[in-house]
Amino acid sequence: MQNLTELPFNSTSQRTSVIVKVCVVIPLFCFFLCCIAVMLHTFASHRHFLDTSRYILFAHMLINDTLQILTSVFLFLCIMGRVRFALLLCVPLLFVSTGTFQNTNLILAAMSLERYVAIFYPLQPPAYWRSDRIWVLILSLWLISFTFPITEFCIRRQDPAVNILSTPVICKATVINSSPLQGLFRAAVSVLFFTVVAVVILFTYVRILLETRKLRQDVASVSKALHTVLLHGFQLLLCMLSFTIPFTETLIVLHTNWLPEDIAYFNYFCFVLVPRFLSPLIYGFRDQGLRKHIGKT
Protein backbone atom coordinates (compact mmCIF):
# COMPACT_ATOMS: atom_id res chain seq x y z
CA MET A 1 0.00 0.00 0.00
CA GLN A 2 2.96 2.31 0.49
CA ASN A 3 3.21 2.89 -3.25
CA LEU A 4 -0.26 4.36 -3.66
CA THR A 5 -0.14 8.12 -3.65
CA GLU A 6 -2.57 10.84 -2.71
CA LEU A 7 -4.92 11.40 -5.62
CA PRO A 8 -6.14 14.77 -6.87
CA PHE A 9 -9.77 15.00 -8.04
CA ASN A 10 -9.67 18.22 -10.04
CA SER A 11 -10.85 16.83 -13.36
CA THR A 12 -13.53 14.54 -14.73
CA SER A 13 -10.93 12.21 -16.30
CA GLN A 14 -9.24 11.69 -12.93
CA ARG A 15 -12.54 10.91 -11.24
CA THR A 16 -13.37 8.48 -14.03
CA SER A 17 -9.95 6.85 -13.64
CA VAL A 18 -10.55 6.30 -9.93
CA ILE A 19 -14.01 4.80 -10.58
CA VAL A 20 -12.58 2.40 -13.17
CA LYS A 21 -9.81 1.30 -10.80
CA VAL A 22 -12.27 0.64 -8.00
CA CYS A 23 -14.62 -1.23 -10.36
CA VAL A 24 -11.75 -3.51 -11.39
CA VAL A 25 -10.57 -4.28 -7.85
CA ILE A 26 -13.94 -4.83 -6.14
CA PRO A 27 -15.32 -7.67 -8.38
CA LEU A 28 -12.00 -9.50 -8.20
CA PHE A 29 -12.00 -9.04 -4.43
CA CYS A 30 -15.56 -10.40 -4.15
CA PHE A 31 -14.68 -13.42 -6.32
CA PHE A 32 -11.67 -14.15 -4.08
CA LEU A 33 -13.81 -13.95 -0.93
CA CYS A 34 -16.40 -16.33 -2.42
CA CYS A 35 -13.70 -18.90 -3.28
CA ILE A 36 -12.16 -18.62 0.18
CA ALA A 37 -15.58 -18.94 1.84
CA VAL A 38 -16.27 -22.14 -0.14
CA MET A 39 -12.93 -23.67 0.86
CA LEU A 40 -13.26 -22.72 4.54
CA HIS A 41 -16.83 -24.08 4.57
CA THR A 42 -15.49 -27.34 3.13
CA PHE A 43 -12.86 -27.53 5.87
CA ALA A 44 -15.42 -26.87 8.59
CA SER A 45 -17.85 -29.45 7.18
CA HIS A 46 -15.43 -32.38 7.07
CA ARG A 47 -13.74 -33.43 10.26
CA HIS A 48 -10.82 -35.26 8.64
CA PHE A 49 -9.48 -31.96 7.26
CA LEU A 50 -9.21 -30.60 10.81
CA ASP A 51 -7.30 -33.72 11.88
CA THR A 52 -4.56 -33.25 9.27
CA SER A 53 -1.70 -30.83 9.88
CA ARG A 54 -1.33 -29.99 6.20
CA TYR A 55 -4.93 -28.89 5.87
CA ILE A 56 -4.85 -26.99 9.15
CA LEU A 57 -1.86 -25.00 7.89
CA PHE A 58 -3.58 -24.38 4.57
CA ALA A 59 -6.78 -23.20 6.30
CA HIS A 60 -4.60 -20.92 8.39
CA MET A 61 -3.06 -19.51 5.20
CA LEU A 62 -6.54 -18.87 3.78
CA ILE A 63 -7.55 -16.93 6.89
CA ASN A 64 -4.24 -15.03 6.93
CA ASP A 65 -4.47 -14.06 3.25
CA THR A 66 -8.11 -13.04 3.66
CA LEU A 67 -7.12 -10.64 6.45
CA GLN A 68 -4.29 -9.32 4.29
CA ILE A 69 -6.56 -8.74 1.30
CA LEU A 70 -9.32 -7.19 3.45
CA THR A 71 -6.99 -4.63 5.02
CA SER A 72 -5.14 -4.02 1.76
CA VAL A 73 -8.30 -3.36 -0.25
CA PHE A 74 -9.80 -1.25 2.55
CA LEU A 75 -6.68 0.94 2.63
CA PHE A 76 -6.72 1.09 -1.17
CA LEU A 77 -10.32 2.36 -1.15
CA CYS A 78 -9.50 4.91 1.55
CA ILE A 79 -6.59 6.24 -0.49
CA MET A 80 -8.70 6.32 -3.66
CA GLY A 81 -11.37 8.29 -1.78
CA ARG A 82 -8.80 10.45 0.03
CA VAL A 83 -10.33 9.41 3.35
CA ARG A 84 -8.34 10.69 6.31
CA PHE A 85 -8.39 9.37 9.86
CA ALA A 86 -6.23 9.46 12.97
CA LEU A 87 -2.99 7.50 13.25
CA LEU A 88 -4.52 5.65 16.18
CA LEU A 89 -6.79 3.88 13.67
CA CYS A 90 -4.30 3.82 10.81
CA VAL A 91 -1.41 2.11 12.61
CA PRO A 92 -3.28 -1.12 13.55
CA LEU A 93 -4.52 -1.48 9.96
CA LEU A 94 -0.99 -1.12 8.61
CA PHE A 95 0.28 -3.60 11.22
CA VAL A 96 -2.28 -6.19 10.14
CA SER A 97 -1.58 -5.60 6.44
CA THR A 98 2.21 -5.87 6.86
CA GLY A 99 2.17 -8.68 9.42
CA THR A 100 -0.15 -10.91 7.40
CA PHE A 101 1.85 -10.16 4.24
CA GLN A 102 4.99 -11.51 5.91
CA ASN A 103 3.15 -14.32 7.64
CA THR A 104 2.19 -15.88 4.28
CA ASN A 105 5.84 -16.59 3.54
CA LEU A 106 6.36 -18.26 6.91
CA ILE A 107 3.26 -20.41 6.38
CA LEU A 108 4.64 -21.56 3.02
CA ALA A 109 7.87 -22.59 4.76
CA ALA A 110 5.88 -24.42 7.47
CA MET A 111 3.80 -26.26 4.86
CA SER A 112 6.95 -27.40 3.06
CA LEU A 113 8.45 -28.61 6.34
CA GLU A 114 5.20 -30.42 7.12
CA ARG A 115 5.60 -32.41 3.88
CA TYR A 116 9.18 -33.19 4.91
CA VAL A 117 8.03 -34.41 8.34
CA ALA A 118 5.22 -36.48 6.78
CA ILE A 119 7.70 -38.29 4.52
CA PHE A 120 10.53 -38.84 6.96
CA TYR A 121 8.50 -39.37 10.17
CA PRO A 122 5.24 -40.94 8.93
CA LEU A 123 4.47 -42.98 12.07
CA GLN A 124 5.77 -40.77 14.86
CA PRO A 125 6.01 -37.10 13.84
CA PRO A 126 7.53 -34.56 16.24
CA ALA A 127 5.02 -33.34 18.82
CA TYR A 128 4.47 -29.84 17.42
CA TRP A 129 3.75 -31.17 13.92
CA ARG A 130 0.79 -33.28 15.07
CA SER A 131 -2.64 -31.89 14.30
CA ASP A 132 -3.51 -31.43 17.99
CA ARG A 133 -0.35 -29.35 18.65
CA ILE A 134 0.09 -27.49 15.37
CA TRP A 135 -1.55 -24.41 16.90
CA VAL A 136 1.68 -23.77 18.84
CA LEU A 137 3.56 -23.42 15.55
CA ILE A 138 0.81 -21.22 14.10
CA LEU A 139 0.89 -18.84 17.07
CA SER A 140 4.69 -18.66 16.78
CA LEU A 141 4.38 -17.65 13.13
CA TRP A 142 1.97 -14.85 14.02
CA LEU A 143 4.28 -13.63 16.78
CA ILE A 144 7.31 -13.53 14.48
CA SER A 145 5.39 -11.84 11.67
CA PHE A 146 4.09 -8.99 13.82
CA THR A 147 7.33 -8.43 15.72
CA PHE A 148 8.99 -6.80 12.71
CA PRO A 149 6.34 -4.16 11.79
CA ILE A 150 6.02 -3.22 15.46
CA THR A 151 9.81 -2.87 15.71
CA GLU A 152 9.86 -0.79 12.53
CA PHE A 153 7.22 1.53 13.98
CA CYS A 154 9.10 1.87 17.26
CA ILE A 155 12.28 3.15 15.56
CA ARG A 156 10.42 5.93 13.72
CA ARG A 157 11.16 9.58 14.35
CA GLN A 158 8.46 11.35 16.29
CA ASP A 159 6.91 14.23 14.37
CA PRO A 160 5.77 16.89 16.87
CA ALA A 161 3.27 18.23 14.34
CA VAL A 162 1.42 14.90 14.24
CA ASN A 163 -0.90 14.00 17.09
CA ILE A 164 -1.58 10.26 17.06
CA LEU A 165 -5.09 10.81 18.45
CA SER A 166 -6.37 13.73 16.41
CA THR A 167 -4.24 14.49 13.34
CA PRO A 168 -6.06 13.14 10.24
CA VAL A 169 -3.78 11.46 7.69
CA ILE A 170 -4.01 9.47 4.47
CA CYS A 171 -3.40 5.97 5.81
CA LYS A 172 -0.36 4.60 3.97
CA ALA A 173 2.92 3.17 5.16
CA THR A 174 4.98 6.23 4.16
CA VAL A 175 3.10 8.30 6.74
CA ILE A 176 4.47 6.32 9.68
CA ASN A 177 7.50 4.62 8.10
CA SER A 178 9.32 7.42 6.30
CA SER A 179 12.83 7.56 7.80
CA PRO A 180 15.89 6.09 6.00
CA LEU A 181 16.54 3.83 9.00
CA GLN A 182 13.05 2.35 8.68
CA GLY A 183 13.56 1.86 4.95
CA LEU A 184 16.82 0.01 5.59
CA PHE A 185 15.18 -2.09 8.30
CA ARG A 186 12.25 -2.94 6.01
CA ALA A 187 14.59 -3.98 3.19
CA ALA A 188 16.66 -6.15 5.55
CA VAL A 189 13.54 -7.87 6.89
CA SER A 190 12.25 -8.55 3.37
CA VAL A 191 15.57 -10.10 2.33
CA LEU A 192 15.67 -12.14 5.56
CA PHE A 193 12.14 -13.52 5.08
CA PHE A 194 12.72 -14.38 1.44
CA THR A 195 16.08 -16.03 2.14
CA VAL A 196 14.87 -18.13 5.07
CA VAL A 197 11.74 -19.33 3.28
CA ALA A 198 13.60 -20.02 0.03
CA VAL A 199 16.27 -22.04 1.89
CA VAL A 200 13.60 -24.05 3.73
CA ILE A 201 11.71 -24.84 0.51
CA LEU A 202 14.93 -25.73 -1.34
CA PHE A 203 16.08 -27.92 1.55
CA THR A 204 12.80 -29.86 1.72
CA TYR A 205 12.67 -30.24 -2.06
CA VAL A 206 16.22 -31.64 -2.28
CA ARG A 207 15.72 -33.98 0.68
CA ILE A 208 12.44 -35.35 -0.70
CA LEU A 209 14.00 -35.66 -4.16
CA LEU A 210 16.83 -37.74 -2.73
CA GLU A 211 14.30 -39.84 -0.84
CA THR A 212 12.38 -40.68 -4.02
CA ARG A 213 15.54 -42.24 -5.42
CA LYS A 214 15.99 -44.44 -2.34
CA LEU A 215 12.45 -45.68 -1.88
CA ARG A 216 11.18 -48.66 -3.81
CA GLN A 217 7.70 -48.43 -2.32
CA ASP A 218 5.19 -45.65 -1.85
CA VAL A 219 6.94 -43.64 -4.55
CA ALA A 220 3.63 -42.06 -5.52
CA SER A 221 3.12 -40.31 -2.17
CA VAL A 222 6.73 -39.10 -2.08
CA SER A 223 6.45 -37.75 -5.63
CA LYS A 224 3.22 -36.00 -4.67
CA ALA A 225 5.01 -34.37 -1.73
CA LEU A 226 7.77 -33.31 -4.11
CA HIS A 227 5.26 -31.61 -6.42
CA THR A 228 3.62 -29.93 -3.42
CA VAL A 229 6.93 -28.43 -2.29
CA LEU A 230 7.54 -27.22 -5.86
CA LEU A 231 4.14 -25.53 -5.76
CA HIS A 232 5.09 -23.81 -2.50
CA GLY A 233 8.17 -22.48 -4.26
CA PHE A 234 5.94 -21.09 -7.02
CA GLN A 235 3.64 -19.55 -4.39
CA LEU A 236 6.68 -17.93 -2.78
CA LEU A 237 7.68 -16.40 -6.11
CA LEU A 238 4.15 -15.04 -6.51
CA CYS A 239 4.29 -13.49 -3.04
CA MET A 240 7.72 -11.99 -3.73
CA LEU A 241 6.54 -10.18 -6.88
CA SER A 242 5.78 -7.14 -4.73
CA PHE A 243 9.52 -6.62 -4.25
CA THR A 244 9.90 -5.97 -7.99
CA ILE A 245 7.83 -2.78 -7.68
CA PRO A 246 10.83 -0.35 -7.51
CA PHE A 247 12.21 -1.83 -10.75
CA THR A 248 8.88 -1.80 -12.59
CA GLU A 249 8.27 1.79 -11.49
CA THR A 250 11.64 2.80 -12.97
CA LEU A 251 10.92 0.98 -16.25
CA ILE A 252 7.43 2.48 -16.58
CA VAL A 253 8.69 6.00 -15.89
CA LEU A 254 11.41 5.61 -18.52
CA HIS A 255 9.16 4.21 -21.25
CA THR A 256 5.72 5.74 -20.66
CA ASN A 257 4.07 9.01 -19.69
CA TRP A 258 1.83 7.50 -17.03
CA LEU A 259 0.75 9.53 -14.03
CA PRO A 260 2.31 8.55 -10.67
CA GLU A 261 -1.05 7.33 -9.34
CA ASP A 262 -1.54 5.13 -12.42
CA ILE A 263 1.90 3.59 -11.97
CA ALA A 264 1.15 2.96 -8.31
CA TYR A 265 -2.19 1.33 -9.16
CA PHE A 266 -0.65 -0.86 -11.87
CA ASN A 267 2.02 -2.12 -9.47
CA TYR A 268 -0.47 -2.66 -6.65
CA PHE A 269 -2.89 -4.58 -8.86
CA CYS A 270 -0.33 -6.71 -10.76
CA PHE A 271 2.32 -7.36 -8.12
CA VAL A 272 0.44 -7.23 -4.80
CA LEU A 273 -3.23 -8.00 -5.33
CA VAL A 274 -3.32 -10.58 -8.14
CA PRO A 275 -0.50 -12.79 -6.72
CA ARG A 276 -2.27 -12.79 -3.34
CA PHE A 277 -5.49 -13.88 -5.04
CA LEU A 278 -3.83 -16.61 -7.08
CA SER A 279 -1.56 -18.22 -4.48
CA PRO A 280 -4.18 -19.85 -2.18
CA LEU A 281 -6.59 -20.54 -5.05
CA ILE A 282 -4.01 -22.45 -7.11
CA TYR A 283 -3.03 -24.60 -4.14
CA GLY A 284 -6.59 -25.14 -2.92
CA PHE A 285 -8.18 -26.19 -6.21
CA ARG A 286 -5.16 -28.32 -7.11
CA ASP A 287 -5.59 -30.54 -4.03
CA GLN A 288 -7.59 -33.59 -5.08
CA GLY A 289 -9.15 -34.27 -1.67
CA LEU A 290 -10.31 -30.68 -1.26
CA ARG A 291 -11.45 -30.35 -4.87
CA LYS A 292 -13.55 -33.51 -4.56
CA HIS A 293 -15.46 -32.13 -1.60
CA ILE A 294 -15.80 -28.67 -3.13
CA GLY A 295 -17.46 -30.29 -6.16
CA LYS A 296 -20.10 -31.76 -3.86
CA THR A 297 -20.75 -28.51 -2.04
Q: What is the model's pLDDT at position 146? A: 92
d(CA 295, CA 22): 31
pLDDT band at residue 63 using 50, 70 and 90 as cut-offs: very high
Q: Contact 211/120 with Cβ under 8 angstroms?
A: yes
Mean pLDDT for the chain? 81
Return the CATH class of domain 12-296. mainly alpha
What's the average model confidence in pLDDT over 218-223?
66
* Angle at 107 (CA atoms; ends 131, 182), nearest 5 degrees: 145
| Cβ–Cβ under 8 Å, residues 236 and 257 | no
Summarize the confidence of residues 204-229 as an average pLDDT: 73
pLDDT, tens digit (0-9, with 9 covering 90-100), for 248-275: 777 787 777 887 778 888 888 888 888 8
- Rounded CA-CA distance 249/217 in Å is 51
At 9 the pLDDT is 47
Distance CA 141, CA 185 (A): 20
Any residues with CB less than 8 A from the CB of 280 and at least 6 apart, and which? 36, 39, 58, 61, 62, 65
Q: Where are the domains of the chain?
A: 12-296
Give the predicted TM-score (pTM) of the model: 0.84
**Across 183-192, average pLDDT:** 83
Whole-number Å distance between alpha carbons of 157 and 19: 36
pLDDT value of residue 4 = 47
Checking if the pLDDT of 1 tops 70, the result is no
**How sure is the predictor about 147, in pLDDT bands with cuts at 50, 70 and 90?**
very high
pLDDT band at residue 210, thresholds of 50, 70 and 90? confident
**Rg of the chain over all Cα atoms, to the nearest angstrom:** 21
Q: Is the pLDDT of residue 21 over 50?
A: yes
Which is it for the CA torsion 72, 93, 55, 143, positive or negative?
positive
| DSSP per-residue codes, 182-216 | HHHHHHHHHHHHHHHHHHHHHHHHHHHHHHHHH-S
Measured CA to CA, the distance from residue 66 to residue 71 in angstroms comes to 9
The CA distances from residue 217 to 209, 212, 221, 288, in Å, are 14, 9, 9, 21
Residue 158's pLDDT is what?
A: 67
Q: Please name which of 196, 225, 16 lies closest in space to residue 120, comparing C-alpha atoms.
A: 225
**129: which DSSP letter?**
G
Q: What is the pLDDT of residue 211?
A: 74
